[in-house]
């Protein structure tokens, strides 16, 4: 068994409602309880900055800086996948670029993707509760985050695809039907778009295989999800990537006038949707009850965490905001057992500490009150 990836220390300055904060953790799970608005989610958000991207709220960085301050920092000591590592990150408004700076053991990192060599961070927050009933873009983003956590290059491909698509849309909107220029952009979109689509399919395939292995067992407190992609080149199985690229490039070429009239590109990976069904009930997720939808989402996140653990040899850090709120006592206990069995460290929040009783000695307990965090006896 390899060592457990976990956070040992976390220090914040001018982060949301925290002027300054320093916490130590002993490697067990971390429970944060306290009243609404105390700063529990803010703490989780700080931990989410130990992964590439804009964190669990996808907030603009200037919102993250404490009101009245000019910069925030998050510093963490992590027992990482390779070794112990000191991670420092933050944003300073007095610098000309508003990008997030990152230092690993004091040395500036070239790209935030380097973080994924040390730890993977997954989260589930109440804002994701409407995932199945909301718009396709949220589900696409959710799926892309799943892909990204195993394949950091996915983000670059998506950004490059967007750029090429914007270029094509601009040419079309200006009525410049220059065939050589358009074909160049469309070939680029085809290469990137098909790579993105295949990466998404691969992730769904891996998750499905994993869920098939555990579905229906007695230790199954959460429903199994059946996953599919739709909305763009739905049948890719067995078709060589180059052929798919040719197909998509031809679709784009044919659709130039239609896209020009629509003012956007009507076909592509940016139109795909993640379809989720409750397997045991054989029902679309959006038609399931609120509690069932939450349970499906929890099941998906746990399956994904297991996949990361299997593929990298290390469980991801899990950030579970208000996870226990809508679960009955038995489901809660089963959830904690599943989380613990992953072998990693999970951060969990709730307004009421008693909801975490079943975790017992497996967690450290902290009370959050007005941006002050105190450890309590178990």
Ligand X SMILES: Nc1ncnc2c1ncn2[C@@H]1O[C@H](COP(=O)(O)OP(=O)(O)OP(=O)(O)O)[C@@H](O)[C@H]1O
| Binding footprint of ligand X on the chain (CB under 6 A) | 16-17, 34, 36-42, 63, 65-67, 351, 368
93 is written with which tokens? 């408004």
Cβ atoms of 91 and 61 closer than 8 Å? yes
Least gap, CB of 221 to ligand X (angstroms): 24
Least gap, CB of 93 to ligand X (angstroms): 12
Closer to ligand X at the Cβ: 70 or 258?
70
Q: Is 36 annotated as a binding residue?
A: yes
Q: Is 82 annotated as a binding residue?
A: no
Closer to ligand X at the Cβ: 37 or 135?
37
Q: Is 205 annotated as a binding residue?
A: no
Closer to ligand X at the Cβ: 116 or 364?
364
Cβ atoms of 285 and 293 closer than 8 Å? yes
Closer to ligand X at the Cβ: 38 or 190?
38
Residues with Cβ < 8 Å from 291, sequence gap 6 or more? 326, 327
Closer to ligand X at the Cβ: 63 or 218?
63
In the sheet that holds 225-230, the strands lie side by side as: 225-230, 273-278, 283-284
Q: Is 90 annotated as a binding residue?
A: no
Least gap, CB of 38 to ligand X (angstroms): 4
Q: Is 231 annotated as a binding residue?
A: no
Taking the C-alpha atoms of residue 182 and residue 197, their distance in angstroms, rounded to an integer, is 22
Residue 302: in which H helix or E strand, if any?
A: helix 290-312
Spacing of C-alpha 91 from chain mean position: 21
Q: Is 35 annotated as a binding residue?
A: yes
Residue 19: in which H helix or E strand, if any?
A: strand 18-24
Q: Is 60 annotated as a binding residue?
A: no
3-state DSSP assignment of residue 228: strand
Least gap, CB of 352 to ligand X (angstroms): 10
Closer to ligand X at the Cβ: 12 or 276?
12
* DSSP string over 323-374: -STT--HHHHHHHHHHHHHTTS-EEEEES-GGGGGGGGGGEEEEEEETTEEE
Least gap, CB of 210 to ligand X (angstroms): 31
Taking the C-alpha atoms of residue 180 and residue 11, their distance in angstroms, rounded to an integer, is 54
56 is written with which tokens? 């669990």
Cβ atoms of 21 and 374 closer than 8 Å? no
Q: Is 41 annotated as a binding residue?
A: yes
Annotated binding site for ATP: 34-41
Annotated binding site: 34-41
């Amino acid at each position: 068994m390899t060592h457990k990836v976990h956070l040992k220390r976390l220090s914040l300055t001018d982060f949301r409602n925290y002027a300054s904060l320093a916490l130590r953790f002993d490697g067990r799970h971390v429970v944060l309880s306290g009243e609404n608005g105390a700063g529990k989610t803010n703490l989780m958000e700080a931990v989410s900055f130990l992964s590439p991207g804009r964190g669990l709220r996808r907030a603009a960085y200037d919102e993250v800086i404490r009101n009245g301050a000019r910069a925030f920092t998050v510093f963490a000591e992590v027992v990482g996948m390779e070794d112990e590592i000191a991670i420092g990150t933050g944003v300073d408004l007095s610098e000309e670029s508003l990008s997030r700076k990152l230092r690993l053991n004091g040395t500036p990192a070239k790209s935030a993707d380097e973080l994924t060599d040390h730890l993977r961070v997954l989260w589930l927050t109440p804002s994701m509760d409407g995932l199945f009933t909301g718009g396709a873009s949220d589900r696409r983003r959710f799926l892309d985050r799943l892909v990204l956590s195993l394949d950091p290059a996915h983000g670059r491909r998506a950004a490059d695809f967007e750029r090429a698509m914007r270029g094509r849309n601009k040419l079309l909107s200006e009525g410049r039907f220059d065939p050589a220029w358009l074909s160049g952009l469309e070939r680029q979109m085809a290469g990137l778009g098909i790579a993105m689509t295949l990466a998404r399919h691969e992730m769904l395939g891996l998750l499905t295989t994993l869920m098939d292995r555990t579905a229906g067992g007695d230790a199954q407190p959460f429903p199994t999800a059946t996953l599919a992609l739709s909305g763009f080149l739905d049948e890719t199985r067995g078709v060589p990537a180059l052929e798919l690229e040719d197909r998509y490039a031809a679709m784009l070429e044919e659709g130039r006038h239609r896209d020009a009239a629509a003012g956007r590109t009507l076909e592509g990976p940016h139109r795909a949707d993640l379809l989720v069904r409750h397997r045991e009930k054989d029902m679309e997720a959006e038609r399931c009850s609120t509690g069932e939808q939450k349970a499906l989402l929890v099941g998906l996140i746990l399956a994904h965490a297991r996949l990361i653990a299997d593929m990298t040899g290390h469980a991801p850090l899990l950030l579970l905001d208000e996870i226990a709120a809508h679960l009955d006592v038995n489901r809660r206990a089963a959830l904690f057992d599943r989380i613990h069995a992953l072998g990693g460290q999970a951060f969990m929040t709730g307004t009421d500490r008693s909801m975490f009783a079943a975790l017992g000695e497996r967690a450290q307990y902290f009370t959050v009150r007005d941006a002050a965090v105190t450890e309590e006896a178990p």
